Amino acid sequence: MQRYAFKMFLDPGAAHEYRRRHDAIWPELKTLLAEKGVSNYSIFLDPETNTLFAYLERPDRHGMDDLPLDPVMRRWWAHMQDLMAANADGSPRTAPLVEMFHLD
């Protein structure tokens, strides 16, 4: 099992709407993420910087690399794009984080 963390960048003033949309996450998106091996997925906000910190777990042989090809994922990105920094394809701009310590 891999632990994977990354950050994303929320627009100022968008925290309430970001939470509201995630509270109503689409069932088909939850199913898609589970099918690709994503589990224990959490997103945290640093309100001082509007940086989102995401953490998830995935098996060594996960299907996350296929997510950008899926229409459900692409619709979710379009749904969220007005709240955060995004790439030209609509995906959120992310930066992977390097694990520096883990305590079992």
Q: List pLDDT tens digits, range 1-18.
A: 999 999 999 999 999 999
Catalytic residues: 22
pTM of the model: 0.89
Q: Is residue 103 part of a domain?
A: no
Residue 71: give the domain boundaries.
2-96
**Confidence (pLDDT) at 90:** 92
The conformation of residue 11, written as its DSSP 8-state character, comes to P
Mark the binding-site residues, compressed into ranges: 18, 41, 76-77
Token representation of residue 102: 């883990």
80, with CB counted inside 10 A (0-12, 13-18, 19+), is: buried
Q: Is residue 45 part of a domain?
A: yes
Mark the binding-site residues for substrate, compressed into ranges: 18, 41, 76-77
Q: Which residue from 18, 99, 9 is spatially nearest to 46, judged by alpha carbons? A: 9
39-46 and 94-96 beta bridge pairing: unpaired
What's the mean pLDDT in 31-59? 96
Token representation of residue 25: 């996450």
**Confidence (pLDDT) at 104:** 85
Could you give the number of structural domains in the chain?
Answer: 1
